[in-house]
Amino acid sequence: MAGHSKWANIQHRKGKQDKLRSKLFSKLSKEITVAAKMGDPDPDKNPRLRLAVKEARSSSMPKDVIDRAIKKSQAGDAESYDEIRYEGYGPNGIAIIVEALTDNRNRTASNVRSYFTKYGGDMGQTGSVAFMFDRKGEIMYPLSAGDADTVMEAAIEAGAEDVSTDEDGHWITTGDTDLGEVSAALEAALGESETAKLIWRPQAATDVDLETAVKLMKLIDALEEDDDVQNVTGNFEISDEVAAALE
């Protein structure tokens, strides 16, 4: 599937191993609070909140922490966060999209710009690289959900755009506005998915050598360590050989 790369797998494993659980939970809680505040605090009536809760559960966030994040959105003194997208170029011209939730735009913009500058990149204007990506929904099922034909049939019936299967699981692509509906239909057919979220999928990806990959990882790690940054996406692929050298 286009956009699903060895780099994504490395980041997934690296995240599980290296990121502090408290930092991960903080980012997930923020998304839950924002989703609940923008819509209904009932996940069954709020597609964005439902997906945020699903993501939190897939990361083993305790139910009481999820419930607190939802309740926080209904408090009179609940913090307000702005959703901001930053765009720029990393080492060797790799396009990077950074999604953030912040209560201080100036602080976040300054921090993100400093990471790009420090690690050989250049932050651009909004729209400077987004045209190289498609906004899509991505649903992932483990291999235990069924064989490739079974999942393919269920996905097509649910209205998905694309399906692929690899050693890590079944990857189902949807239109960005169809994610909630397709996810619910698949859940009825196959059970609960491992993840269901909106992504930026590169229209074309650039293979990078080890030197560039190392620089990119430093930039991405710095961005992801920032408390305001929720997601980071790049339009590059990493070969098995380079991936092995990075791990």
Q: Which of 196, 205, 191, 207 is nearest to 233 (CA)?
A: 205
CA 101 to chain centre: 13
The pLDDT assigned to 44 comes to 85
What's the one-letter identity of residue 111?
N
| Cβ within 8 Å of residue 51, ≥6 positions away | 35, 179, 180, 183, 196, 197, 198
Confidence of residue 55 (pLDDT cuts 50, 70, 90): confident
Architecture of domain 132-202: 2-Layer Sandwich (3.30)
Confidence of residue 54 (pLDDT cuts 50, 70, 90): confident
**CATH number 3.30.70.980 is the correct assignment for the domain at 82-128+205-231:** yes
What is the residue extent of each domain of the chain? 6-74, 82-128+205-231, 132-202
> Is 82-128+205-231 in the same CATH topology as 6-74?
no
Measured at the CA of 107, the angle between CA 29 and CA 37, to 5 degrees, comes to 30
The pLDDT assigned to 136 comes to 94
* Side-chain half-sphere CA neighbours of 187 within 13 A: 15
Confidence of residue 23 (pLDDT cuts 50, 70, 90): confident
The pLDDT assigned to 46 comes to 87
Angle between helices 47-58 and 63-74 (to 10 degrees): 150
Residue 191 in this model has a pLDDT that exceeds 70: yes
Confidence of residue 39 (pLDDT cuts 50, 70, 90): confident
Other C-beta atoms lying within 10 Å of the C-beta of residue 45: 10
**pTM of this structure:** 0.85
How confident is the model over 51-59, as a mean pLDDT? 87
The pLDDT assigned to 47 comes to 85
pLDDT tens-digit series, residues 171-187 = 999 999 999 899 999 99
6-74 CATH: 1.10.10.200
Alpha carbons 39 and 147: distance in angstroms, whole number:
37
pLDDT tens-digit series, residues 76-97 = 666 788 999 999 999 999 999 9
